Structure 1
Amino acid sequence: MTCQRCQDEAVVHLTELVDGRRKETHLCVACARASGLSLPDAPPDFGLDAVLQDLIKKHVGELVGELAESTCPDCRLRYMDFRTGGRLGCPHDYQVFRKGLLPMLQRFHGATRHVGKRARARPGASLRLRLRSQLRQAVAREDYEEAARLRDQIRLKDQHA
């Protein structure tokens, strides 16, 4: 489309309602500025990277630079992977990503510390946890006979619970 004043390429397109009728005006940058319109020096960047960075800044805030680069030294989870997936990788993540988690907890729950219900203590729960830990260790060291014995012991405890 060409400018209605000088026949250069039109980059500014205005639509106005005048006396109930629609009036379109097409101008080049120079003619638009001469008409008193203020235009940005450069067009907005709508590339994928720019759009993603803008979305991240809106949802994470000014901590985006510091948090986006942080990674848990234990499980190697990156903060941005947590933000996209919604799951933490290990208990250490709560400390590593604290600056990003506290505002979210405040927004979701209205508090940054637990004030709700607590799980009831189940009889034998600590024994079950200990047995499961021993089972994992036995499998890791490939002691399958011990692992089978521990598995059977866990099943027996679960049946009686």
Structure 2
Amino acid sequence: MMCQLCSREASVHLSETVDGTRRELHLCGPCARKAGLTPPDPPPNAALEAVVDHLIVQHVGELVGELARASCPLCGLKFMDFRTGGRLGCPNDYEAFSQGLSPLLRTAHGATRHVGKAPRKRTPPGRSPRLRLRARLREAIAREDYELAATLRDQLRQEDADR
């Protein structure tokens, strides 16, 4: 559409119906300003993640904004990845995301304390060599160090085969 006043490309489009007659007006930005109309603001030039974080904090609260940026120090899983995927990465995630998980567990199970069976052999979350290997693998991939990543992947596969 072209501006009806100056023949530039129109960015403001108005239409009204009066007594069954439809009237349309197409103006460019400068002509719309002269007529007392304001054209729409262009969208902000920001990264999508920053916009989403801002919207979360604005509409839900600061705690959720902190949780959105939180990640597990052992496995590297981000809380928002858990929310979208529905799976935790390691046992340490229960502690790392306790502020966000406690309400979910209370709603789903009616309690936040585990009273069922536990595995016989327990390795503290920070001492598990497999979790450390997985964390190192994620870091190597993030740094694009694919040779180290392949070595770590092979070590993880070897551990699986030994089990």
TM-score where L is the length of structure 1 = 0.53
The residue that corresponds to 1:109 in the other structure is 107
Aligned residues: 124
Q: In the alignment, does 2:41 pair up with 1:6?
A: no
1:90 shift after superposition: 2.6
1:43 shift after superposition: 1.3
CA distance in 1, matches of 2:69, 2:9: 43
1:57 shift after superposition: 4.7
Q: Report SS of the residue matched to 1:14.
A: strand
The percentage of aligned residue pairs carrying the same residue is 46
1:16 shift after superposition: 1.6
Is the alpha carbon distance of 1:53 and 1:36 closer, same or farther for their aligned partners in structure 2, counting shifts above 3 Å? same
Is the alpha carbon distance of 1:28 and 1:71 closer, same or farther for their aligned partners in structure 2, counting shifts above 3 Å? same
Is the alpha carbon distance of 1:2 and 1:100 closer, same or farther for their aligned partners in structure 2, counting shifts above 3 Å? same
CA distance in 2, matches of 1:9, 1:63: 45
Whether the aligned pair in 1 keeps the contact of 2:13 and 2:25 (CA below 8 Å) is yes
Is the alpha carbon distance of 1:20 and 1:72 closer, same or farther for their aligned partners in structure 2, counting shifts above 3 Å? same
* Matching residue's letter, 1:88: L
The answer for unaligned runs of 5 or more in structure 1 is 135-139, 148-161
The residue that corresponds to 1:43 in the other structure is 42
CA distance in 2, matches of 1:10, 1:141: 64
Q: Report SS of the residue matched to 2:26.
A: strand
CA distance in 1, matches of 2:51, 2:43: 12
RMSD: 4.1
Q: Report SS of the residue matched to 1:9.
A: coil
Q: Deviation per CA, 1:11-44: give whole Å up to 9, x if none.
A: 111122222232221001011112222334x412
* Matching residue's letter, 2:90: C
Whether the aligned pair in 2 keeps the contact of 1:56 and 1:64 (CA below 8 Å) is no
The residue that corresponds to 1:24 in the other structure is 24
CA distance in 1, matches of 2:87, 2:55: 20
CA distance in 2, matches of 1:86, 1:95: 16
- The answer to which structure, 1 or 2, has the higher relative contact order (CA under 8 A, 6+ apart) is 2
Q: Deviation per CA, 1:35-82: give whole Å up to 9, x if none.
A: 222334x412599x53x6545554574456643443212222122321
The residue that corresponds to 1:73 in the other structure is 73
